[in-house]
């Protein structure tokens, strides 16, 4: 079940475009199983899909706040991904209303690379070092050449570097991602792009 608001970008691989902050979520399906890339901020999506796993590309509030709505499921992230009350301070810079849900930390973590079986379909999770955050996760679906890049890539706006970013390593991380030879790269914000877009994109400068 793909969900009414999903757009199929490759066989069994979907995106969910959200007006809020131009966010892009991912949904990967296999035989009787599925995986959601980032939970986003809209818990209503859980009425349409029931993934057995969520992968958090990083811990910024707009990518993790709706996780509770999809439980019970596994929540995968890099071992340095911390989901706690400090994320609500970032949210408060954008929204005045209080967050009324429960923050859900990862239940499963990895260091460098791990391979998941999603209904007989291989999905690789990679961490190639710090860039947008200390714990960026790249989600690779090799059989269709799709990579979910999180906020390592943004379309429609420049890539953003906050206080937890490592701009000096950003290009190296992107180059390693390109070694996966993706046909489609899904950014954390904006529409899917190709490898050439990633090669040419400007990364935040080192302060």
Where do the domains of the chain lie?
Answer: 7-200
Q: What pLDDT shows up at residue 162? A: 86
- Asked whether the beta carbons of 163 and 130 are under 8 A apart, the reply is no
What separation in angstroms does the CA of 84 have from each of 6, 10, 21, 137? 29, 34, 21, 18
- Asked whether the beta carbons of 160 and 154 are under 8 A apart, the reply is yes
Q: What pLDDT shows up at residue 163? A: 85
Q: What pLDDT shows up at residue 20? A: 87
If you average pLDDT over residues 22-28, what whole number do you get? 97
Sign of CA dihedral 3, 8, 13, 18: negative
Own/partner long-range contacts of 13-20 (Cβ < 8 Å, ≥24 apart) = 13/141, 13/144, 13/146, 15/186, 15/192, 16/40, 16/45, 17/191, 18/42, 20/62
Q: What pLDDT shows up at residue 1? A: 45
What separation in angstroms does the CA of 49 have from each of 6, 86, 125, 137, 205? 10, 28, 21, 22, 39
Question: Percentage of residues in the chain with pLDDT exceeding 90?
Answer: 91
The DSSP secondary-structure symbol of 160 reads: -
CA distance 161 to 145: 27
Which CATH architecture group holds 7-200? Answer: 4-Layer Sandwich (3.60)
Query: What is the maximum alpha-carbon separation in the chain?
Result: 47
Q: How confident is the model at residue 145 (pLDDT cuts 50, 70, 90)?
A: very high
Q: How confident is the model at residue 205 (pLDDT cuts 50, 70, 90)?
A: confident
Q: Following CA atoms 4, 102, 119, 15 in sequence, which dihedral angle do they give, to the nearest 10 degrees?
A: 40
The DSSP secondary-structure symbol of 1 reads: -
- Asked whether the beta carbons of 132 and 176 are under 8 A apart, the reply is no
Omega prior to 72 cis, within 30 of 0? yes
pTM greater than 0.85: yes
If you average pLDDT over residues 140-169, what whole number do you get? 95
Q: How confident is the model at residue 207 (pLDDT cuts 50, 70, 90)?
A: low
Q: How confident is the model at residue 61 (pLDDT cuts 50, 70, 90)?
A: very high
- Asked whether the beta carbons of 70 and 39 are under 8 A apart, the reply is yes
């Amino acid at each position: 079940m793909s969900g009414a608001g999903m757009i199929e970008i490759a066989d069994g691989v979907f995106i969910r475009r959200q007006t809020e902050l131009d966010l892009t979520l991912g949904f990967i399906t296999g035989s009787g199983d599925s995986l959601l890339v980032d939970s986003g901020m809209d818990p209503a999506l859980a009425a349409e899909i029931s993934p057995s796993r969520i992968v958090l590309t990083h811990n910024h509030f707009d990518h993790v706040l709706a996780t509770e709505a999809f439980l019970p499921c596994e929540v995968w992230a890099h071992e340095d991904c911390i989901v706690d009350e400090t994320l609500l301070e970032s949210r408060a810079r954008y929204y005045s209303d209080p967050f009324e849900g429960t923050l859900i930390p990862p239940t499963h973590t990895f260091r460098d690379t791990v391979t998941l079986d999603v209904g007989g379909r291989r999905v690789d999770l990679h961490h190639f070092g710090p860039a947008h955050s200390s714990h960026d996760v790249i989600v690779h679906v090799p059989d269709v050449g799709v990579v979910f890049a999180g906020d390592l890539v943004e379309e429609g706006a420049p890539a953003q570097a906050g206080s937890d970013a490592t701009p000096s390593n950003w290009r190296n991380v992107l180059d390693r991602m390109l070694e996966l030879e993706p046909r489609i790269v899904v950014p954390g914000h904006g529409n899917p792009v190709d490898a050439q877009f990633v090669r040419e994109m400007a990364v935040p400068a080192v302060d």
